[in-house]
Amino acid sequence: MFLSIKNLSVSIEDKLILNDFSLEMNKGEVHAIMGPNGCGKSTLSNVIAGNEEYTILKGEIVFKDQNLLDLNIEERAQLGVFLAFQYPIEIPGVNITPFLKASLNAKLKKEGKEEVDALSFAKELKQVATDLGIKSEMLSRSVNEGFSGGEKKRYEILQMSILKPSLAILDETDSGLDVDAFQTVTQGINKIKNDNNSFLIITHYQKLLDHITPDFVHIMKDGKIIKSGDYSIAKLIEESGYKNF
Amino acid sequence: MSIQEIYNESKNKFLFNDSKNFSVLRSNILKNLDITPKIKKNNESLKYLDPQVLNFLYKYTELSNDILYLDYEMDIMNIDSVNGKISTIHKKTNNKIDINIRNINSSNKLAEEIFLNFQDYFEDDYILNLNSLMLNSGYEINIGEKQEVTIFISNNITDQALTLFQKNIISCSKNSKVTIIEEFATNKKSNSNIANFISLEEGVELTHLIFQRNSLTASLQSTSYTNCKKNSLYKQLIINISNASIRNHHYANLVGENASANLDGIFFAGNDQVIDNKTQVNHNFPNCKSSQRYKGVLTDQSQASYLSKTFVDKLAQKTEAYQLSKGILLSDNSYFHSKPELKIFADDVKCSHGSTIGPMDRDLLFYLRSRGLNKKDSTSLLIKSFFHDMMFGVPNKIFLEQFNYYSNKWLEMNNI
């Protein structure tokens, strides 16, 4: 199994958020998680990425045969976990280009591969940015500083495209996007998707799943998955909400 | 040895020792030198000061007042100050800039008058009183009208255990545009108590960048008082990456319409360092602007304070004043005390202040680490980001490079 989460219970400030949560994903699969506000979707994505604010009460997360709970945040990222944040953070004074190059090189170093040089990196970054409709002048700006909501989301996809993760978690990446941004972001995701990586997509809307077809859709409630199935579940939710689950 | 005894032993060596007015001032200072616990508790110049600063033996090596002029290939004027006096000026021979520079001696009546006038502002300042009591050095720089000049001043000390009590005068005549970059990088065991009296005539723009990187045993107490006349702008930025305990107390007085003053500071503190910061801007005329921003990073058992004050006179309508204090505590034992103060007597003003002190933002750290950067590199990036708004727009490339180099070195030395 590529990713296996078993009986995971997680709390924050003594409040139980994930309650005996389990999920299994194979390589190349796209899983979507839908659920009402506060059901624990974002907690799940944060916990997989290693956010230290949460307390793990029990359970395990195994990814590429390694227990993620034994690894710190950067070790998980270097192993191929990528979280596209729901609310990407502004970091004034930290330029995206050297930051992303350092991130990529940390990953390549961990994989025992040769680090990328500045010139080839800049070339690739510019190309990916163009594909995502990001103007090249934005590459000389600080990370997310003064960006609109849509620009921040494009930037997350830009980072994902460069880092080429094996497990990408998209936490409501579709929220706050206008029609054009939605189009570029979904195209960007589809471009990266292949048989060697998996996607965990957290969304409230079927619309995103119309563009990135999931292999499985899971409904989450009160910290656990209460129903799993195919794309048709997303349609059901779009029509009648979560009350029937 | 008490300060009174030190004074009596060396009183004939101090500047203006034959001046009647200075004698009166010195007698008054001597009467009020005892520090009782009550005085220590209530006097802001002592409350946050490293007490070691007051524990010294007087030693001063007097150098000649003569200045050696050397040819220099660059457009900037490069000044060496040694033991509080200017020894060498490097400048282009054909540079015809109207600027008058000299060391201050006891016969300089104008300097004496300026010092005595400024003394009124510092009645309760123990450090400034010590400076006046044992005044042993200083220089003046007078810049002519409409001059544009960049001056680099390197402040050096020649001897171990030297105690410097220095007063300088910097005056900029109408419509001059001046950049002064000062560096303090003393590695000699010493105590420097330095006061700058700065005056900006109408339309002057003075950018004053000060880099302090003294070694562990080279204490520095830096004080400045700047008068800004109509349409003038004073921009002060202090970078303090010293290993010693440092005091920075800086004042600006806006005495003409549309005058502006920015008193900004950045500090890094580790080990047992005590960093004592204070700024104050007095708005005395309408339509003036000011900002006072200090930001610091603290680790180990270091302590820092920042007292900021904006005074707005009832005449100073349409004042815009901003105060900000931010600190990142990298250890549980570090301590940062911040006290912003506003005294406003006008009714049509925009004044604000903000203060944030706490550990490194965990959400920011999580974001960077989730991209694969380790904790150390992420922290280092976030500290640079923390100071970004203060360094943004600094016009001197070398100063920026120095900041990057020495801040990286500090982070490495402190294993951050």
Looking at residue B221, its pLDDT comes to: 98
The C-alpha angle B50, B53, B56, rounded to 5 degrees, equals 155
Average pLDDT score over residue span B14-25: 95
Cα dihedral across residues B363, B366, B370, B371: positive or negative: positive
**Residue A7: how many other CB atoms lie within 10 Å:** 14
Q: What is the pLDDT of residues A218-238, one digit of tens each?
A: 999 999 999 999 998 988 888
Partner residues linked to A8 by β-bridges: A21
Looking at residue B194, its pLDDT comes to: 98
Fold of A72-221+233-240: Rossmann fold (3.40.50)
CB contacts of A84 in chain B (<8 Å) are: none
Full DSSP string of A131-190? HTT--GGGGGSEETTT--HHHHHHHHHHHHHHH--SEEEEESTTTT--HHHHHHHHHHHH
Q: Do A93 and B369 touch (CB under 8 A)?
A: no
Looking at residue B96, its pLDDT comes to: 83
SS3 B101: strand
Cα dihedral across residues A61, A63, A68, A73: positive or negative: negative
Q: Does B408 touch chain A (CB under 8 A)?
A: no
Residue A245 has pLDDT above 90, yes or no: no
Model confidence band, residue B75 (pLDDT cutoffs 50, 70, 90):
confident
Contact by Cβ (8 Å): B361, B330: no
Looking at residue B261, its pLDDT comes to: 98
- Alpha-carbon dihedral angle through residues B157, B159, B165, B167, given to the nearest 10 degrees: -30
The C-alpha angle B366, B368, B372, rounded to 5 degrees, equals 105
Model confidence band, residue B314 (pLDDT cutoffs 50, 70, 90):
very high
Looking at residue A177, its pLDDT comes to: 86
Mutate to test the interface with A, among B363, B364, B365, B371 (most CBs of A within 10 A): B371
Question: A81-84 and A167-171 as β-strands: parallel, antiparallel, unpaired?
Answer: parallel
Residue B36 has pLDDT above 90, yes or no: no
Own/partner contacts of B409-414, CB < 8 Å, gap of 24 or more, are B409/B241, B410/B241, B410/B268, B410/B270, B411/B379, B411/B380, B411/B383, B413/B270, B414/B270, B414/B299, B414/B300, B414/B330
Question: A15-25 and A3-12 as β-strands: parallel, antiparallel, unpaired?
Answer: antiparallel
Contact by Cβ (8 Å): A6, A59: yes
Residues present in chain A in total:
245
Average pLDDT score over residue span A109-127: 94
Residue B382 has pLDDT above 80, yes or no: yes
Looking at the complex, report in whole angstroms how far the Cα of residue A115 sits from the nearest Cα belonging to chain B: 14
- What does the block give as tokens for B327? 């600190």
Q: Do B373 and A107 touch (CB under 8 A)?
A: no
| Percent of residues, chain A, with pLDDT higher than 90 | 77
Q: Does A49 touch chain B (CB under 8 A)?
A: yes
Looking at residue A32, its pLDDT comes to: 95
Looking at residue A135, its pLDDT comes to: 87
Residue B95 has pLDDT above 80, yes or no: no
CB contacts of B370 in chain A (<8 Å) are: 49-50, 73-74, 76-77, 82-83
Give the residue with greater pLDDT, A235 vs B327. Answer: B327
Looking at residue B122, its pLDDT comes to: 80
- What backbone torsions phi and psi does residue A218 show, to the nearest 5 degrees? -115, 140
Residue B123 has pLDDT above 80, yes or no: no
Q: What is the pLDDT of residues A2-11, one digit of tens each?
A: 999 999 999 9
Q: What is the pLDDT of residues B332-367, one digit of tens each?
A: 999 999 999 999 999 999 999 999 999 999 999 999
Q: Does A104 touch chain B (CB under 8 A)?
A: yes
Cα dihedral across residues A95, A98, A102, A108: positive or negative: positive
Q: How far apart are the first and last CA of chain B?
A: 41
Q: Does A163 touch chain B (CB under 8 A)?
A: yes
Looking at residue B27, its pLDDT comes to: 95
CB contacts of B362 in chain A (<8 Å) are: 52-53
Looking at residue B312, its pLDDT comes to: 98
Q: Does A13 touch chain B (CB under 8 A)?
A: no
Looking at residue B33, its pLDDT comes to: 86
Contact by Cβ (8 Å): B376, B384: no
Q: Residue A83: closest CA among chain B residues belongs to which residue?
A: B370
For B370, the closest of A77, A99, A102 (CB atoms) is A77
Looking at residue B332, its pLDDT comes to: 96
- What backbone torsions phi and psi does residue A85 show, to the nearest 5 degrees? -70, 145
| Percent of residues, chain B, with pLDDT higher than 90 | 89
Looking at residue B93, its pLDDT comes to: 80
Contact by Cβ (8 Å): B156, B162: no
**How many angstroms separate the CA atoms of A175 and B259, rounded?**
47
Q: Which of A5-14, A175-184, B157-166 has the lowest mean pLDDT?
A: A175-184
**How many angstroms separate the CA atoms of B35 and A205, rounded?**
71
Residue A213 has pLDDT above 80, yes or no: yes
Q: Which of A56-60, A181-185, B323-327, B358-362 has the lowest mean pLDDT?
A: A181-185
Q: Does A83 touch chain B (CB under 8 A)?
A: yes
Looking at residue A22, its pLDDT comes to: 97
Average pLDDT score over residue span B194-203: 98
Looking at residue A241, its pLDDT comes to: 84
Q: What is the pLDDT of residues B394-415, one digit of tens each?
A: 989 999 999 999 999 999 999 8
Burial class (CB in 10 A: 0-12, 13-18, 19+), A110: middle
Average pLDDT score over residue span B151-177: 97
The ranges assigned to domains in chain A are 72-221+233-240
Looking at residue B203, its pLDDT comes to: 98
Average pLDDT score over residue span B208-224: 97
Looking at residue B92, its pLDDT comes to: 87
Q: Do A73 and B392 touch (CB under 8 A)?
A: no
Average pLDDT score over residue span A157-162: 95
Mean pLDDT of chain A: 93
Residue B132 has pLDDT above 80, yes or no: yes
Model confidence band, residue B121 (pLDDT cutoffs 50, 70, 90):
confident
Provide the ipTM. Answer: 0.96
Looking at residue B270, its pLDDT comes to: 97
Residue B393 has pLDDT above 90, yes or no: no
Looking at residue B94, its pLDDT comes to: 79
Looking at the complex, report in whole angstroms how far the Cα of residue B400 sits from the nearest Cα belonging to chain A: 13
Model confidence band, residue B2 (pLDDT cutoffs 50, 70, 90):
confident
**How many angstroms separate the CA atoms of B200 and B202, rounded?**
7
Looking at the complex, report in whole angstroms how far the Cα of residue A162 sits from the nearest Cα belonging to chain B: 11
Q: What is the pLDDT of residues B264-310, one digit of tens each?
A: 999 999 999 999 999 999 999 999 999 999 999 999 999 999 999 99
Average pLDDT score over residue span B304-321: 98
CA atoms within 13 A on the CB side of B101: 20
